[in-house]
Structure 1
């Protein structure tokens, strides 16, 4: 008897490319952090030791070398192997010549192979589709304008009122429109050379933001930072002060042995608090400038799924007098307007993300001395409050 749920002529579903890609991603990005655990004992022995509350696993901590660049307020990882470790184990940083993953060298190799095989790369195919979509909109607008002009001419000549049609045989649609074929003689022909030039060296580096770099340095102890100007390794205290000085309104160019004037509302401290807060809770934190926010929160990483939450950092002064006397000009420190909030919330709602306002309370100068800013111990005086903002959409929320 033939099942009504499975017609006899239907083939079994086969594994597609997406399933294979997910399997590769699970293998490549298996470690959520640069730290890995080594188990020298076999699994049965580990199970017995686990029942006794013992764990003999060893932690493998990679040693990553970074260069602190004052101009870009970032830490550069120039070694390709170390860059891949940080990207594949936690999605830290971004390639300076790429959108996220440092893939400039791979794109160059693929472009040369595509030219030899006379085919387009993925970037060229995307550009071609965008150009065709733009041409379709122009052709459709031109056809609608022509129909409207004909209706206007009929009204002037015969006095008839004709409503211009927005669809029909003369109006191109997405289903019927075809791009104009290009003449192959006008296209540049790729002639492979017998003596091809060697592939270029990888000139791309991984660029870490200052909060990312300090999280790897202070919490995971897998990063050492060298000052690119002084050519010397920096201690944790020197890095903590140098990262704050990078955000001073007047750049501090003196040696680190001096005592610069630091402020409790330094942008590095405020942003690092939020970054550390969500990283310590297991979220993958990425920059959110694409969606007009400060951070994006991923469950596992951008190669697995889209971000579920977008975070806006909102500093709040404990003492209003400190805000009036401050020269830092913190972003989002002033009360925002409802039009701004509605705009940001609408942008993120359209891409199915929940907006989170992370309020960072800046302690008052009257109860916190300035000397505590010379050590990460000052973070204990700050606090974070979260407010989730959701836009009411009747079509989605009526069930």
Structure 2
């Protein structure tokens, strides 16, 4: 009997896992020189231990540009993009689903086109088109069978047998053979790899950028101190004070919105910093109807284990009544909504966590504390784990 050592959420075989450990093994962009401790532990706890023992820290000093319109920061350097993604999985490629891989995908597509083959993306789209056509053909066959049965009943005869295709019997129609002049010419291949060789002028220019959220940007600038943020309207880099105030200002339409404890940036950053400081890899969870997803090591190693739903709670109800911000989930939720979110995440084997963050009362604390990240100490975070009861699985 074969054994599955990978587990239900593992990704890749042994060789691939070893390669991923080598490429994506660091939890943060800053690293320590190779040592015994470094090989054994690359978690955030090593950072503090490195300071205590006087270890040397290697800082990549990446640079990004703040974009107020998109509420994000962009890096235009391929080097910085690879460092930020491979060392902590920060940001996402603007032309990719996660890792900035647009250039490699374009090169693979050109090589496949030269060899007359299909890329993985083209194969996926082809399969989707075939599934769509299968559904159309099956629906048409069912409708024809129903019409034939009704006609036979009216005419008083036995209905003719109508073939209804299934997933095992249905086959897509063969595509027309290309004309001779359209047949692709296979170029010379590399003798060692067997891949098509591209000329230097055939390789496209890398136009993809890595996009960071405001929470990721401030965490890398303030907590890790490995990121320099530039304002496109200024020549000099932004200071931490300018970054802190500018990131809050993107949510403020009028000056009356300033200096409020329910600023969306502060609330989301408090949650992001909380989980990042505990060693989790934090990514956006919009795909699963939640705010964040928590990974133990990162997306290339295993699927996210927890889905985080941020629920703001006002200490003073009067602050919510006069708030200019419409915070998501701040109003009482319905059981229908909660059951829907829980079922979505249960189907993909994620545990739903309701993360309550208590917003301090404006009347109790002076708004001047919002001028620095020291205000984060006034927020309280509580967690409630919610699991969907499945009778067939939980009898034991």
TM-score (norm 2): 0.86
Structure 2 SS opposite 1:385: strand
8 A contact 2:315–2:358 mirrored in 1: yes
8 A contact 1:68–1:74 mirrored in 2: yes
CA distance in 2, matches of 1:339, 1:81: 46
Distance 1:388 1:120, change over 3 A: same
Structure 2 SS opposite 1:140: helix
User: Who is 2:340 aligned against?
Assistant: 343
Would you say 1:173 and 2:166 are equivalent positions?
yes
Structure 2: 5+ residue stretches without partners: 3-10, 39-51, 188-197
Q: CA deviation at 1:206?
A: 0.6
Distance 1:56 1:317, change over 3 A: closer
Name which of structure 1's ranges 239-248 and 133-142 shifts more when overlaid on structure 2: 133-142
User: How many residue pairs end up in the alignment?
Assistant: 364
Would you say 1:224 and 2:221 are equivalent positions?
no
Would you say 1:323 and 2:323 are equivalent positions?
no
Would you say 1:278 and 2:271 are equivalent positions?
no
CA distance in 2, matches of 1:222, 1:195: 37
Give deviations 1:71-91, integer Å, cap 9, x for gaps.
111111111011101100110
1:200 to 182, 194, 204: 204
Would you say 1:382 and 2:385 are equivalent positions?
no
Give deviations 1:89-119, integer Å, cap 9, x for gaps.
1100001111110011111111111111111
User: Who is 1:27 aligned against?
Assistant: 22
1:359 to 356, 359, 362: 356
CA distance in 1, matches of 2:318, 2:381: 20
Q: Which has the higher contact order (CA 8 A, sep 6+)?
A: 2
User: Who is 2:141 aligned against?
Assistant: 143
Q: CA deviation at 1:19?
A: 3.0
Structure 1: 5+ residue stretches without partners: 7-15, 44-53, 253-258
CA RMSD between the two structures:
2.6
CA distance in 2, matches of 1:40, 1:361: 42
State which structure, 1 or 2, has the greater radius of gyration over its C-alpha atoms: 1
Q: CA deviation at 1:296?
A: 0.6
TM-score (norm 1): 0.85
8 A contact 1:34–1:61 mirrored in 2: yes
Q: CA deviation at 1:343?
A: 1.2
Q: CA deviation at 1:197?
A: 4.0
User: Who is 1:314 aligned against?
Assistant: 311
CA distance in 2, matches of 1:268, 1:311: 17
Would you say 1:156 and 2:127 are equivalent positions?
no
8 A contact 2:283–2:292 mirrored in 1: yes
After superposition, where does 1:289-304 map in structure 2 within 5 Å? 289-304=286-301
